[in-house]
Structure formats: structure tokens, C-alpha cells
Structure 1
């Protein structure tokens, strides 16, 4: 082989090696980022790195609040049309349960019947083994499906009357047009003050694997939700909606090999009326967004894909304080039973 031919062969081999190396580097750079390995000691101090990944460590210096079961909120004249049902003699809980309608809705609105407990003198959903001296039926005036309409009100009357007949009671229904007008006014207020915030985190370069997202989100208190691709920051009280929700592509979460799934965006959301102001949900959301953006190497954007600088988030928080004030002035404080029902 001549020197010229040998030179060309070596040059070709070098070019091929460079191309292979470039492809390998590019593939590695663009591959979904995986769960990070944790070290027992700083390798700079001469200690060997930990060969096994470890679960995120949480600060246990303060005990976590114990979940407190919540009493189911009862009918409230603020957001319900209520019909008192008078009875001549006490009715057993068993008889009341047998007379209850098969469904607890009138159209798209929640419908409920409560009895006045003879012993406690508290209104409650009829229960076996108790006696009731009066009843009341109610239908919710508005929710996120809209205002109570005439057809739904008529269905409420039919169901309440059937129950009253079964327990030998006499219902007194409020005037339909008045209640429908109240429902429309309440729906208008709710529509003007229903805030659901959302931030999207976009990957700057390499995509993320589901495990990588879970690892970083867990550092801010998020746990896996019941739905694939969904994590939640639990509320302080059992039975309450989650404080925050983090969601990403459910198909990536259900893939046969999740480690090879590529996620390029995750969404943080806060349903403002559902979470008490005192839990500072927006502050938790802000800190999580900034921290996740740093840890995941992502950028915070709005619904239109425009970048949101961390300092701009403070302005959103100030606007929320005004909304909280407005809800409280209407006796519909964020996170209250009435607000959770109205904005549900």
C-alpha cells in the first residue's frame, strides 16, 4: 500500500471515529435524564461514591401534621336552595334512609337531605340507629357547570316531595324564580373569581425521564397521585383537595420502559378557591417552580409558552391576595366548605 493510500485510510478512520464519537455524545446529551446517584461522602475528600441510588431524604426535624378527618359540610343557605320538611312524629334513621332518592343530584347540581338529630339537635345525613324530628332538602345553586336552572329546580322539588311523602312530612319550597335568580348572581360572582393558576416547566436541553421528575418533585413534598403522570402536594387535612398538582405525559409514565420515556414539559397547577389561604399555597407553588426549574434545567413559562422570570411571580402573588380578600368578604374564603363546593 502506498504512503498516499495509507494516509487516506488513516484519515478516513479518523473521520469515522469522530462521527461515531459525535453521534454518541449527541445521543447521550439528548437522552432522557435519569435518577441521580447519591454519594455517601464527598468524592473530593477521597471517599468512594455510593454505587446505589438512594431515596430522597426529607427533613424530619418537625413532625408532620396528623390528618384530621373532616366532617362532611352540610347544607348552607349561602349556596343552597333549602326546603324545610316538618313532620308530626320522630322518624327513625332507617325509615329516612329507605325514603332517600336513588341519586344525589338534580341535573348537574348536588342534592341532599338532612335530618335534625333528636339527641344532638344537629343537622346530619340520616343514619341508622338515630331518630329525627325534622328534615330539610337542599340543592346547590351553582357550581363549575353553571347556575341552577328551572328544570333542575323542578327535579329538586319532585325528589324532595317524594321523600317528604314517604316520611309523612310537609315541605315548604322557596319560590323558584327567586332561587334561580340567586343562582345566576352567585354563578356570575363565581365565574369572575374562579382562579386556577398553572405554570409550565420546559426542558432547556435534555429531556427528563419520569423517575428524574419524581426524584426532584419529591424534594418539594410531592407524592405520586392515583393517575399516571400526576403527582400531588397533599393538603394538611385529610379529605381536602391537594394543595398543588404536578402533571406530565401519562403515556410516558405508563411506558414499558419509563427510563427511556422522554418528558420535555411538566405543569404545576393550583386551584385557588380549593386551598386555604393560611396554607400559603402560592408561596409553595412559587418555590417549587423555581426549585424544579433549577434542578431539572428547565424554564418557567405561562400557558402561551412565554418565559416567566422568577421575580415576576411575586406580582402574581400580590394579585392573589386581593382575590382572597374578595372571597372572604363574600363568606366564601378559599378552602372553606362552601368555596370547595361552589368551585367544584
Structure 2
């Protein structure tokens, strides 16, 4: 190889290294710039309106039209439903609508079999009980009480031979997002609790099946009325496509993390619960392996209304980030029908969210509470 060829190879290598370094510097500057943009809070006059709860009729679906659906009066009827909760003594009283910390034994959403023994229940019997396949169509949880102690949830993972439980509560959830528990499954659960009590020579108290099923249907109706996911979509103004690398950079700079289900999640720093999410408007999920080559004509922000505490504040935060994405990506906010979403439309959606969460508070099921998270899992 001649000196000229060697010189050309060296010059080419230097140029390539220089381009790589320049691109990394530019990318770092871009990340810092985006992060600084998202770090600042901005008041939005259109979103900071006073809340005026309105209750009407009809089930709500996620939409951004001019008519704001309302909440049925029937959902308010059970506001005074008694709740069997064990409140932690060291928890201060909170404002109405904010659920206090509980032991998880909640008769509002559970059918509870109360088993009382005169002596500690044998450890082997507890293992047999917890090893059963509880196929009742809804979640089942068990709680135990040791003499002189507080109620605690028990499972095969937490059970120890040192535990001496004298009382158990078996909780079958009355409803979830798939509907109410059936009367047959309620009867099967009661029969199982009665059989176990006979084996350990304990007394058992089980609520009436017909009444419990009626409660399950009423609870499911309420859940259907408030089970709403609100979304904000962004599509390109000129019909072009958004690049996956840019979407990911914006998302991570604003606090999202890409998770295994192909959706960016924005989680609460204290509870780790999802506050809102960012997904692809098209069918393809966001996966780490394809973000470099992915392009899409739209993205969607989603907020699961009954699962999020302080919904108005969280909605404001989501809408603010959506506007920043829209500006950076040269996009436009639209509804599910690709109709441009005005500020008044965003404002109405925020008010609708406030009405839903107010109605949940009246029912003593605060949005984002343990009860709500179990119901809307």
C-alpha cells in the first residue's frame, strides 16, 4: 500500500470519528434542551377552571365531542353503604374523597366469610386452604387474626408455622372490569368456607347469597358508569410520520419509561402507580428493538380515570405534556375520529373527569384508592 493510500485511509477514519463525536454532542444538547422544557411548570388558563359537578344519565365513553356525558343519579344511591374497614390508628383524618389507609378488608366490594375458632387453626389446614385453586371468577384474598395482633393478609408466601390464627376472613370480590360475580360462584365460595370451618371445628358466618349477588350487580352498574379512560391523540399536521427515536427521546426526557407491554408509562414517584401512559395510535407497540426504525402517524396519551388520584391535576399534567409533544413533533391534538381537539374540548374532558371522581368519592370509593385499584384492575 502506497503512502497516498495510507494517508487517505487515515483521513477517512478521522472524518468518520469526527462525525460520530459531532452527532453525540448534538444528541446530548437535544436531550438537555428537551429535559429543560419539560422541567418547567406552566399554568394553563383554559384548564384551571372551577369544578362544577353535574350528574345526569347515560354511560360515559372516552370522547372529545361537544356534549359532555353525565353520571347517573342511581350511582349516588349507595353513598351511605356501611364499610367494614380497619383503619390504622396512626393515620390522620383526611379531606372527604381521600380514602384513608386500610387493612384491605372491605365489605363494600367483597363477600366475606368470617371464620372463628376457639383455638389456633392448624398450620397444615391453612396450607391446604391456601393451596386450593380459587376459581370463582373473581379475586380471592384471605386475612388472618392472631391473638393480641391486627388483621394481616395471608398467603402461601407469608404463612409461617409460628403463625397462630384464631380467626380468618375469606374475601371474594363482588365485581371487577369483567362484570359481577355470579350467584353460583358465591354459593361455591360459601360452601368451601363452611366445609373448611367444619374441618377445623370453627364457627363460620356467611352473608346471604341473594343479597350479596344483588350488591354485586349494583356495584357493577356503578363501576360501568365511572369506568372511563380519557385520551388525547396527536397526529402530524402535514400527514407525515413521527420517528420512533424522537418519540422515545421526548418521552424519556419527560419522565416516561418504556415497559414490556409496548407502552410508555408515567408512574408516581412514591406509589409507583401509573398516572398516564403514551402508546402508538397505530396497532404496532413501542418496543425497544423497533424504536430506531419505527415510524407512526400518531401517538395517544391515556388516563385511566378511576385508577388515578387527584385526577384534575394529573389530567392537567398530561395535557401539558401532550401540547409540548405536539409542538415539538409538529403535530395537532385530535379526538379518536381525527377531528381537531380544541381547548374547549380539553376543558370539557377535564370537567367530565372531575364529575366522575366526585361521584366516586360520594360512593366512598375514592379514585386511585386501594378499593378503586382492586375494582378496576
- Fold in common (TM above 0.5): yes
Which residues of 2 match residues 75-224 of structure 1 at below 5 A?
75-91=105-121, 95-107=125-137, 109-125=138-154, 127-128=159-160, 129-205=162-238, 206-224=240-258
Alignment partner of 1:244 is 2:276? yes
Q: 1:278 to 1:115 in 2, by over 3 A?
A: same
State the TM-score, normalizing by the size of structure 1: 0.74
Alignment partner of 1:281 is 2:314? yes
Cα distance in structure 1, aligned partners of 2:245 and 2:260? 16
Larger relative contact order (CA 8 Å, sep ≥ 6): 2
Cα distance in structure 2, aligned partners of 1:286 and 1:61? 15
Cα distance in structure 2, aligned partners of 1:95 and 1:174? 23
Query: Could you list the runs of 5+ residues in structure 2 that have no partner in the other structure?
Result: 1-21, 41-100
| SS of 1:174 mapped into structure 2 | coil
| SS of 2:332 mapped into structure 1 | strand
Which residue of 2 is the match for residue 14 of structure 1?
Answer: none
Which residue of 1 is the match for residue 8 of structure 2?
Answer: none
Which entry has the higher C-alpha Rg, 1 or 2? 1
Which residue of 1 is the match for residue 31 of structure 2?
Answer: 56
Q: 1:177 to 1:262 in 2, by over 3 A?
A: same
Q: 1:73 to 1:233 in 2, by over 3 A?
A: farther
Once the two structures are TM-superposed, the CA of residue 155 in structure 1 deviates from its matched residue by 2.5
Aligned residues: 287
The answer on whether the counterparts of 1:115 and 1:132 sit within 8 Å (CA) in structure 2 is yes
Query: Could you list the runs of 5+ residues in structure 1 that have no partner in the other structure?
Result: 1-47, 63-70
The answer on whether the counterparts of 1:328 and 1:334 sit within 8 Å (CA) in structure 2 is yes
Cα distance in structure 2, aligned partners of 1:61 and 1:220? 8
RMSD: 2.9
Cα distance in structure 2, aligned partners of 1:318 and 1:95? 52
| SS of 2:27 mapped into structure 1 | coil
The answer on whether the counterparts of 1:199 and 1:300 sit within 8 Å (CA) in structure 2 is yes
Cα distance in structure 2, aligned partners of 1:308 and 1:200? 9
